[in-house]
Amino acid sequence: MEYILYEQKGSYAILTINREKALNALNSTVLEELDQTLDNVDLSVVRCLILTGAGQKSFVAGADIGEMSTLTKAEGQAFGKKGNDVFRKLETFPIPVIAAVNGFALGGGCEISMSCDIRICSDNAVFGQPEVGLGITPGFGGTQRLARLVGAGMAKQMIYTARNIKADEALRIGLVNAVYPQEELMAAAEKMAAGIAKNAPIAVRNCKKAINEGLDLDMDQAVALEEKLFGDCFETQDQKYGMAFFLDKNKEKVKEPFQNR
Catalytically active residues are 111, 131
What is the nearest approach in angstroms of ligand CAA to the Cβ of residue 185?
18
Number of residues that bind ligand CAA (CB under 6 A): 22
Query: Whose Cβ is closer to ligand CAA: residue 93's or residue 127's?
Result: 127
What is the nearest approach in angstroms of ligand CAA to the Cβ of residue 82?
10
Choose which of 41, 71, 134, 203 interacts with ligand CAA (CB under 6 A).
134
What is the nearest approach in angstroms of ligand CAA to the Cβ of residue 166?
13
Distances (CA, A) of 41 to 11, 38, 48, 99, 222: 11, 5, 10, 17, 29
Choose which of 115, 142, 146, 258 interacts with ligand CAA (CB under 6 A).
142
Choose which of 65, 173, 178, 188 interacts with ligand CAA (CB under 6 A).
65
**Edge-to-edge order in the sheet of strand 12-17:** 4-9, 12-17, 48-53, 97-101, 118-122, 178-180
The residues of the shown chain that bind ligand CAA, judged by CB under 6 A, are 22-23, 25, 61-66, 83, 104, 106-108, 111, 130-131, 134, 138-140, 142
